[in-house]
Amino acid sequence: MGTWTGKKVAVLHGGQSSEREVSLKTGAACAEALRGRGYDVVLVDVDRDVATRLREAGAQVAFVALHGRFGEDGCIQGLLEAMAIPYTGSGVLASAVGMDKVLSKLLFKGLGLDVADYRVFPASRAGAVHGADLPFALPVVVKPSCEGSSVGVTLVKEASGLADACREAARWKGDVIVERYVKGKEVQVAVLDGQALGVIEVVPANEFYDYAAKYTAGTTQYFYPARISDGEARRLMDAAETAHRGLGCAGVTRTDFILVPDGTAFILEVNTLPGMTATSLVPKIAAGNGLDFPSLCERLLDGAALKA
C-alpha cells in the first residue's frame, strides 16, 4: 500500500499560465493512473480560488501537475506550505530558481556545468537589441527568462530578425535572454529522487525542440537510450544529478542539454515539473527503466511532503 492510500489526493492541473493546455493533459493522465492504483483522487483546476477549492475537496495531499507560471515557479508550493498540505515535487526555492533561467544559469556556472554564452536584456529594451550588442555571432536563440515549454522562443539567423524576436520574448514573463545557438544533439535526462534514470535523444522535425514539437504527436523522433557513448551518457547523468541537487529539487526533474561533437554538454534548464503526457519524455525514460506510468505517478505521490 502507498503512503497516501485512503487519503484524499488532489491533482492540481490547468492553472493560469501559457502552458495551461499541457497541464490539463498532464493532470488528467496522472489522475487516471492514480485512480487505477486505488487512490481517492479529485481533480482541481487551479485558479485564484484554489485555496477554497482545496479546503472544500478535503485535500490531504496534493499531486502537482501544473506547468509554467504560478504552478512551476514556487507560487503554488508556497500556498500549499501555508495550508500545511504535503505536495509532490520540489519546494518553493528550487521551483522559483529553476523557473528563472537567468538565476539558474548563474547557479549552473557556479556548479561547474557548461553554459552556452548568453546576454540578458530588460524587456523594456527588447526592440532596441542589435547584433552589435552581442559578443558572439548569429545564429542565436532568443527566449523569455521565466517561461517554459519553449513559449516565446525564436531561433534567429539574420540580424534583421533579432529585434522582432526580442519583442516576442518580451511579451512573456521576465527579462529577455539572447543565447548563442549551439548545434548538437538535443538530449534530456530524467532524475528521480536524486538518481538519474537515463538519457533520451530528441530529433525534432524543425531546427530545435519548440512548443509544437513537444506537444504534437508525430513531429519528433525519440531515441532511448540516446545514440551516444556510455561515457557521454554517464557525464550527462552526473551533470543532471549535480543540477538537481544544486537547485535543491525533489521528486522528478528533467534536465535539457545540447551535446556538441567534442563531447561538451551545454545545460539549458532544469524542469522541476516536467510534462507527463503521451508525448512527454520523463515517462518514456521511466518506461525504459521498467517503471510504467502508474508506478511512476505512485512513486511521486509517495514522496509528497512539506519542504519549508
Whole-number pLDDT of residue 146: 86
Which residues of the chain fall below pLDDT 50?
A: none
Whole-number pLDDT of residue 217: 54
In a domain, 33, yes or no: yes
Q: Would you call 275 a catalytic residue per the annotation? A: yes
Q: Would you call 271 a catalytic residue per the annotation? A: yes
> Which one from 72, 175, 210, 269 is the annotated catalytic residue?
269
Residues 20-77 pLDDT 10s: 998 999 999 999 999 999 999 999 999 999 999 999 999 999 999 999 889 999 999 9
Q: Would you call 19 a catalytic residue per the annotation? A: yes
In a domain, 305, yes or no: no
Q: Are 259 and 229 in contact (CB under 8 A)?
A: no
Residues 168 and 207 in one domain: no
Q: Would you call 158 a catalytic residue per the annotation? A: no
Whole-number pLDDT of residue 212: 53
* DSSP 3-state of 228: coil
In a domain, 150, yes or no: yes
Residues 49 and 77 in one domain: yes
Tell which of 132, 147, 180 closes a domain.
180
Distance CA 230, CA 139 (A): 31
Adjacent-strand bridge partners of 41 = 9
Counting the structural domains of the chain, the total is: 3
Whole-number pLDDT of residue 94: 98
> Which one from 68, 224, 254, 298 is the annotated catalytic residue?
254
Please report, for the domain that includes residue 219, its CATH number: 3.30.470.20
Residue 172: domain span: 118-180
Whole-number pLDDT of residue 6: 96
Q: Would you call 209 a catalytic residue per the annotation? A: no
Question: Nearest 5°: phi and psi at 277?
Answer: -110, 180
> Which one from 149, 175, 179, 251 is the annotated catalytic residue?
149
> Which one from 17, 271, 280, 298 is the annotated catalytic residue?
271
Residues 110 and 241 in one domain: yes
Residues 103 and 214 in one domain: yes
In a domain, 306, yes or no: no
Residues 105 and 200 in one domain: yes
Residues 103 and 73 in one domain: no
Residue showing cell 482545496: 54
Residues 103 and 80 in one domain: no
Distance CA 295, CA 297 (A): 5
Whole-number pLDDT of residue 216: 55
Q: Are 214 and 19 in contact (CB under 8 A)?
A: no
Q: Would you call 87 a catalytic residue per the annotation? A: no
Tell which of 144, 160, 180 closes a domain.
180
Q: Would you call 215 a catalytic residue per the annotation? A: yes
Whole-number pLDDT of residue 2: 86
> Which one from 215, 224, 235, 280 is the annotated catalytic residue?
215
Whole-number pLDDT of residue 173: 81
> Which one from 17, 256, 280, 298 is the annotated catalytic residue?
256
In a domain, 2, yes or no: no
> Which one from 19, 175, 179, 210 is the annotated catalytic residue?
19
pTM here?
0.92
Distance CA 76, CA 63 (A): 11
> Which one from 91, 174, 246, 275 is the annotated catalytic residue?
275
In a domain, 287, yes or no: yes
Q: Would you call 256 a catalytic residue per the annotation? A: yes
Q: Are 296 and 4 in contact (CB under 8 A)?
A: no
Residues 220-246 pLDDT 10s: 899 999 999 999 999 999 999 999 999
